[in-house]
Amino acid sequence: MSPPVAIITGASQGIGAGLVAGYRRTGYAVVGVARSFASDGREQSDYVPVAGDVADRATAQQAVDEARDRFGRIDTLVNNAGIFVGKPFTEYTLDEYEAITAVNLTGFFHITQLAIAQMAAEGHGHIVNVSTSLVDHADSSRPSALPALTKGGLVAASRSLAIEYASRGVRVNAVSLGVIRTVAHDPASYQSLGNLHPLGRVGEVSEVVDAILYLERATFTTGETLHIDGGQAAGR
C-alpha cells in the first residue's frame, strides 16, 4: 500500500522544514514547495522538492502533479508559506501589499484549488492553513493590519471550505500561531517576545509540528482553528 502524501509550502526552513521532517517521520511521503532549497534539499524516495514561487499557478500545478504522478495520491496540504510585515497601516507600501497578498492569499488560492479538487475526487483529504494569533488578539504595540487581513482571510476560508467539502470527505482546519522561535526573529528578542505570551516564552517549531500532526489524527475535527500561541488568544 502506498504511503499517505503531504504537500507542504514554505518547506525550506523554519516551521516548514520542521513539518517536512515531522510528516516524514510519521510515514508520509512529502512534496515540499519553496522559492529555493539548500544543497541538502534534494529529491529522495519519500521527498520531492519543488522550487518556485507559491504565488505562481505553474508552481502549484507542479507540486500537485508531483504528488499525484510520483506518489499516486494527495492526502494533506499544509499552507505554511507566508509573509509577515508588521508596521503602522499608513506606512505599508504598494510593493509590500502586493508581496504579502501574493504569498498569503494568491499562493493559498492556487495550490488549495488544485489540491482540493484532487482530494474531493479521491473522497478524502486534509488541509491545514497557518495563520497568526494577531488575527484574534490585536496588539497596539505590534500593528499588523495586512498580515491580519490576509491570514484572517485564511481562517474564514478554512471554515467555509470545511463545510463546502465535508460531504466529500475533505477536512479543513487552521492553526493560529504566536511567536515561534525561527530565523525570522533576532534571538536577542526572544525574552521580550516571550513576555507577550501568558506562558511567558516563545513557542518552538516542534510544538507547531506536534499540533498540526494532532489535527492530522483528529479525524472528527474540521472547521477548527487551533491556537498555538502560549495563551495569547485567551487573554492577558
Reference 49, options 82, 7, 14; nearest CA is 7
Report whether 177 contacts 229 (CB < 8 A): yes
Distance in angstroms (rounded) separating the CA atoms of residues 136 and 130: 14
Average pLDDT, the chain: 94
- Beta strand pairing call for 76-79 and 5-9: parallel
Distance in angstroms (rounded) separating the CA atoms of residues 33 and 79: 10
| pLDDT higher than threshold 90 for residue 185 | no
- Tell me: the pLDDT tens digits for 47-105? 999 999 999 999 999 999 999 999 999 999 999 999 999 999 999 999 999 999 999 99
More confident residue, 20 or 134: 20
- Tell me: the pLDDT tens digits for 107-133? 999 999 999 999 999 999 999 999 999
Distance in angstroms (rounded) separating the CA atoms of residues 86 and 143: 6
φ and ψ at residue 192, rounded to 5 degrees: -70, -40
Q: Burial of 192 by CB count in 10 Å (0-12 exposed, 13-18 middle, 19+ buried)? A: exposed
Which CATH class for the 5-234 domain?
Answer: alpha beta
pLDDT band (50, 70, 90) for residue 146: very high
- At 45, list the grid cell: 524516495
| Whole-number pLDDT of residue 69 | 95
3-class SS of residue 51: strand
| pLDDT higher than threshold 70 for residue 39 | no
| Whole-number pLDDT of residue 148 | 95
| Whole-number pLDDT of residue 216 | 98
